[in-house]
Amino acid sequence: MLWSDNGPSSPYKCSCELVIDTYHHLFIIKIFSMNKPFSRRSFLQTVAVSASAVMLPAFALPAETKVKKLNKNPLKLGMMTYTLGRDWYIDEIINNCTEAKFEHIELRTTHAHGVEVTLSPFEREVVKRRFKDAELAISLASGFSYNSADPAVLKRNIEGTKEYILLAKDVGALGIRVFGSNATDEKLLTQIGNALGEVGEFGYNNGVEIRVCNDGPNLAMVKKNIEYSKSPHVYLNWNCPMSDLEGGFENNFNSVKHLIRNIHIRELWNDYPWRLFFKLLSKSGYTGYCDAEIGGNPDPIRFMKYYRALFLALQDAI
């Protein structure tokens, strides 16, 4: 209350001040106490002068404080069930991802969803239809690698990958994850490369991408694994370990950006250069998904919504 009802001459010890909040683009009148008596007429005169000051050129907002345009084409967010979602059945996956506006789900083998090579043709068709009806894209994540010195184990991994590719085809998955491996000699590099080349071509002929994950070996080693496959149909699943920063993050990215087909992202508060990474991905024309491989939470939908908000904020999309 700035004056009493007893008349305009009633003194009140207060004053007003015009404050410009350039961050929020607001003009604020602050009222505060002072020792000098203050009348209604004085108050109105002060407000009039302060308001007129808003019209002066000196009070125009500087260009740098104007609101930045939002990014209208952010990267697409998905989820990997390795941790969060490992105990969810298909209905729960669809419900949670839809509610939190996640667009892709990467189903890790052996988890509660039950999407495994043991499914019958009818069951595979049901899985495909359920995800399609939910407008949720899917991929599969296997545990296959090709570095065993035992020929029988190597063959089992190659044939197992082919079975998994056929499962991916039947359920409408875009691709499957396999593992790259460290190799210290030409013989092992050739073995890994030959195996990747074989499953890569098999995947291509069935409309399924083979994505080699740098989980363990660094980017340079996985790139070498892929190069030794001599196949244009073997790709990279970028896994976001901190080793990506060794030797220069941007240089590492540019060396493999043409191979990236899927991404696993982690806790977005850590020291990984997320903002730079997302910027480089967008600039490269990446159209795939960034799958959150993160720990669980007792309130998963709320947690996923917060995660998505941070993911978008790091791209200036909100």
Domain of 30 in residue numbering reads as 14-65
| DSSP conformation letters of 124-157 | HHHHHHHHHHTT-EEEEE-------SSHHHHHHH
Number of domains the chain is built from: 2
Q: Side chain identity at 81, as an amino acid letter?
A: T
* Pair 307, 232 in one domain: yes
* Pair 148, 46 in one domain: no
Q: Residue 146 to residues 49, 116, 187, 190, 224: CA-CA distances in angstroms?
A: 78, 20, 12, 10, 14
Per-residue model confidence as pLDDT tens for the chain (318 residues): 444 444 445 444 444 454 444 444 444 444 444 444 545 555 445 444 444 444 444 445 455 566 779 999 999 999 999 989 999 999 999 999 999 999 999 999 999 999 999 999 999 999 999 999 999 999 999 999 999 999 999 999 999 999 999 999 999 999 999 999 999 899 999 999 999 999 999 999 999 999 999 999 999 999 999 999 999 999 999 999 999 999 999 999 999 999 999 999 999 999 999 999 999 999 999 999 999 999 999 999 999 999 999 999 999 999
Give domain status of residue 7, yes or no. Answer: no
Contacts of 49 by beta carbon, 8 Å cutoff, 6+ apart: none
Choose one of 65, 95, 124: the last residue of a domain. 65
pTM for the model: 0.80
Nearest-angstrom CA–CA distance, 254 and 257 = 5
* Pair 223, 114 in one domain: yes
Secondary structure letter of residue 75 according to DSSP: P
